[in-house]
Chain A
């Protein structure tokens, strides 16, 4: 592909830097430094830093977006004083949290207590490395990107439970256990809904899945799967109405009750990273990724970085939907949540797999104008 991608840009920067640094070293080292391996390594590093910065900024913008949206749903304004329309408010909040003392309860387990926020943060951010934001804007095009993303996404309950247990607090422990139960329960419908997408697209590669949606976006045939996926994502992201692990009415702050200052900020930021990842997955799997329908005038899709722009617009709108749900529904109970997951979502997801298979079969029927390109 001739367009500049994020990775090729990082590669160029790395090569440029190494080529200029190499002069100071003797010849054998010089040769090794300018070799492809080192360039690739540095390029990956630069790529990671750019990605981290972009994801963090997007995350903080997401918090702003939620605050503003939620404010309007509730007949109030949301953040509005720091920066234009409160855009910088979350940076200010972050600074405030950064300046706060981080402390550990005396009877908390040291390793688990310190490790869990970091691990939670890392496992959340690292998903960005494999999500294709636009054509060419991903780190690696592995054949099983989708599965990898979901696997990393489901690490979280482990670290949540670790941190909750380690902080030696009853509320935290209850919250952690709820979190583990809830996330494990909702892995199943999510994966089944994803299976429907995979059946329809014939690939586990996210880029391929997006490209397969060039004729129609998958939400139309897979509406049931979309509902299941959205519900499951709400549960995985622990948002109202499924935010039982941090149900503040009974559990104070749930599993992160004992965390304060920057540690809390880590948890909170990682939460929003996960919200962003969830919204992006919805866009990738069901809403056509960075593509727009063909009847859209080409002026809207041809400007520079149009793919990323439309992609982010979609992701933010999907997250707006999550905010809308948060503004209108109360939180449900653990047993009801599990019942909803196993009794309603799993059958619906299975049904949607069958529907996807039917759609594929219909494509192969000659009377409907067989489109044999489906499937891999």
Chain B
């Protein structure tokens, strides 16, 4: 049972100051605000006055007596994404990290015909602007801007293709400058050598080209196993370049790559 404690002094503010008259204080408070906002109320005439306009921030701050400007650090806003197609490495991490499954990797011109280049396409009808995709982007090419106006007449217009997001990028909007602290990740992609058939799929599809197929002397085939008449190759992953996107795992036909910690 809670101890029923009397209200200590100072913990119930306002009770000690009794109103002088019925309604004088509220009337006076409203009148004070009236006098204050007579010239410049602190509301914003939105389509005409914009918070992202630096001149305007100061004006509102001064006029309304606020301690800090309206939208003073506007650049951190998580708005529409800007995509730099040129530096995108098609690693898929943004699509994987999206909790709402609103990112789809679509083909953009620029890749070679065998391995088309894929960039994210975002459906803003589903997007929750959590920023996980831009946090996950290893190259910093997918970033969130201060653009927040997303109205459209059709649902299809809410789907932003890579080209459209590239235009956002080219419009030089302020990018979100916050860089996320990435925790040290000891997990790596490891290889189960006996299963590998050296098919080169992982090295071919690696977005950062950090996998090289090296000749491995395959000296001791298992007894009874048919030895292929070609040179054994095995992927070797350059760990400093690896962005841990897992593409190699998903393309491996024999499931011989896996996540693990190198002892």
Chains A, B in direct contact (C-beta < 8 Å):
yes
Chain A residues close to B by CB (< 8 Å):
69, 71-77, 80, 324-325, 327-329
Interface residues of B in 23-38 (CB under 8 A from A): 23, 26-27, 29-31, 33-34, 36-38
Q: List 12 A-B contacts (CB under 8 A).
A: A69-B34, A72-B41, A73-B31, A73-B33, A75-B33, A75-B37, A76-B37, A77-B41, A327-B30, A328-B27, A328-B29, A329-B23
B226 → chain A closest CB, angstroms: 83
Q: B45, A324: Cβ atoms under 8 Å?
A: no
A73-B30, A77-B45, A328-B23 known; 6 other A-B pairs, CB under 8 Å? A71-B41, A72-B33, A72-B34, A73-B34, A75-B43, A328-B27
Instruction: Closest B residue to A326 by CB, please name it.
Output: B30
Which residues of chain A are within 8 angstroms of B146 by Cβ–Cβ distance?
Answer: none
Q: Which residue of B lies closest to A71 (CB)?
A: B41
Interface string of B135-161 (1 = CB under 8 A from A): 000000000000000000000000000
B42 at the interface (CB under 8 A from A): yes
Minimum CB–CB distance from B2 to chain A (whole Å) comes to: 31
- Given the complex, which residues of A lie within 8 Å of B38, measured CB to CB? 72
Which residues from chain A contact B31 at a C-beta distance below 8 Å? 73, 324
Q: Which secondary structure characterizes the binding site on chain B?
A: helix
Instruction: Please determine whether B41 and A328 come into contact, CB atoms closer than 8 angstroms.
Output: no
When distances are taken between beta carbons in the complex, the residues of chain A under 8 Å from B27 are: 324-325, 328-329
Q: Measured between C-beta atoms, what is the minimum distance from A94 to chain B in Å?
A: 23
CB distance from B52 to the nearest CB of A (A): 21
Residues of B within 8 A of A77 (CB): 41, 43, 45
Q: What residues on A are CB-neighbors of B45 within 8 Å?
A: 77, 80
Alpha-carbon distance between A146 and B27 when the two chains are bound, in angstroms: 31
A76 lies within 8 A of B41 (CB): yes
A34 to B198, CA, bound (A): 116
With both chains docked as a complex, state the minimum distance between the C-beta of A167 and any C-beta of chain B, in angstroms: 34
Closest chain A residue, CB of each to CB of B24: A328
Residue of B at shortest CB range from A241?
Answer: B23
CB distance from A336 to the nearest CB of B (A): 13
Question: Is B37 in contact with A72, judged by CB distance below 8 angstroms?
Answer: yes
Residues of chain B with a CB closer than 8 A to A71's CB: 41
- Which residues in A have their C-beta under 8 angstroms from that of B34? 69, 72-73, 324, 327
